[in-house]
């Protein structure tokens, strides 16, 4: 149980969170409707990097169940403090191979598989724990030097290799779009990821191991565009929790 440190502030935070969540749900439903998709076709991953455990508990109380963290250590602290059993934690940030074992223990899915070597390490750790680990392949669609992820031209080959790893279940693709002034400028990035996913469905059907259904794309500034382009998962931090403190 988490004791609110300051009841008044706490109630206000919960109210703000509820208001933001309602607005986000409405915008998501409207975006889906514009392109004739059912609102239920898109799931929200609440991104909780820098968000304190008591606020995560409030988000959970509002019905959110899917949470994304970027760092293994930060996630581990929160998961052990919160002990909320029906939360699904997903890893969405770059993973170093030396933290792969811990990641397999903590997360229901790793969205940020960005190399075949990482996939092989995760597969070995999942095998050791006797579990099947769902993964998404992260794609650096815009080819930005600052971002991790497979290059577009490497995705089909990588997907073929990952599909053969017995303890990983590849479920789709993930991307982080470039930061741009005009969100409309990222539409081609989302469209490209969807085309890649459709291509994978043809060439690497995945056998027993899943169907490349998931498209994890869209964040606070561009989730409506991503939904219009076929996102099945949107990863929302600031739209739900407000601005993050500036990194030090
Ligand atoms: C931080 C982060 C998000 C959420 O970003 P917002 O702009 O706050 O919605 C989504 N995906 C990844 C990989 C992130 O690191």
190 close to 235: Cβ distance less than 8 angstroms = no
What is the crossing angle of helices 155-163 and 187-203, to 10°? Answer: 50
- For 25, the token pair is 């749900």
Q: What is the pLDDT along the chain (248 residues), one digit of tens a residue?
A: 555 555 666 788 888 999 999 999 999 999 999 999 998 999 999 999 999 999 999 999 999 999 999 999 999 999 999 988 789 999 999 999 999 999 999 999 999 999 999 999 999 999 999 999 999 999 999 999 999 999 999 999 999 999 999 999 999 999 999 999 888 899 999 999 999 999 999 888 664 445 899 999 999 999 999 999 999 999 999 999 999 988 76
Please work out whether the CB of residue 238 comes within 6 Å of at least one atom of ligand 1: yes
C-alpha span between 93 and 185 (Å, rounded): 23
Residue 150 — φ and ψ, nearest 5°? -70, 145
110 close to 95: Cβ distance less than 8 angstroms = yes
- Matching residue, tokens 């479920």: 171
Please work out whether the CB of residue 106 comes within 6 Å of at least one atom of ligand 1: no
Q: What is the pLDDT of residue 246?
A: 82
Q: Where are the beta strands (DSSP E) in 36-132?
A: 43-47, 66-69, 88-91, 109-113
Q: Whose CA is nearest to atom 4 of ligand 1?
A: 237
Q: What is the pLDDT of residue 208?
A: 46
What does the DSSP assignment read for 127-185? Answer: HHTT--EEEEEEB-TT--TT--SB-GGGHHHHHHHHHT-TTEEEEEEE--PPP-SSGGG
- For 175, the token pair is 């991307």
Please work out whether the CB of residue 176 comes within 6 Å of at least one atom of ligand 1: yes
C-alpha span between 22 and 31 (Å, rounded): 14
Please work out whether the CB of residue 97 comes within 6 Å of at least one atom of ligand 1: no
Please work out whether the CB of residue 50 comes within 6 Å of at least one atom of ligand 1: no
Atom of ligand 1 at shortest distance to CA of 219? 9
pTM: 0.94
Kindly state the helix (H) or strand (E) to which residue 233 belongs, with its residue range. strand 233-236
C-alpha span between 224 and 222 (Å, rounded): 6
C-alpha span between 194 and 163 (Å, rounded): 19
191 close to 202: Cβ distance less than 8 angstroms = no
C-alpha span between 42 and 161 (Å, rounded): 28
SS3 117: helix
Kindly state the helix (H) or strand (E) to which residue 236 belongs, with its residue range. strand 233-236
Q: Whose CA is nearest to atom 13 of ligand 1?
A: 92
Residues whose CB falls within 8 Å of the CB of residue 87, separated by 6 or more in sequence, listed in order: 60, 65, 66, 67
226 close to 203: Cβ distance less than 8 angstroms = no
């Amino acid at each position: 149980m988490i004791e609110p440190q300051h009841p008044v502030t706490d109630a206000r935070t919960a109210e703000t969170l509820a208001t933001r969540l309602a607005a986000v749900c409405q915008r998501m439903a409207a975006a889906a409707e514009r392109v004739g998709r059912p609102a239920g076709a898109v799931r929200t991953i609440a991104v909780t990097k820098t968000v304190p455990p008591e606020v995560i508990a409030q988000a959970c109380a509002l019905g959110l169940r899917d949470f994304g963290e970027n760092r293994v250590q930060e996630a581990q602290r929160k998961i052990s403090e919160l002990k909320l059993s029906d939360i699904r934690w997903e890893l969405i940030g770059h993973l170093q191979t030396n933290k792969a074992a811990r990641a397999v223990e903590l997360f229901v899915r790793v969205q940020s598989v960005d190399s075949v070597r990482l996939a092989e390490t995760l597969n070995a750790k999942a095998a050791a724990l006797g579990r099947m680990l769902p993964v998404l392949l992260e794609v650096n669609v815009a080819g930005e030097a600052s971002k991790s992820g497979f290059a577009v031209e490497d995705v089909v080959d990588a997907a073929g290799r990952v599909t053969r790893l017995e303890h990983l279940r590849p479920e789709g693709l993930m991307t982080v779009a470039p930061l741009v002034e005009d969100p409309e400028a990222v539409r081609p990035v989302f469209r490209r990821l969807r085309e890649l996913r459709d291509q994978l469905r043809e060439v690497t059907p995945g056998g027993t191991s899943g169907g490349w259904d998931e498209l994890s794309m869209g964040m606070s500034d561009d989730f409506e565009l991503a939904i219009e382009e076929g996102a099945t998962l949107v990863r929302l931090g600031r739209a739900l929790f407000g601005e993050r403190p500036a990194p030090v």
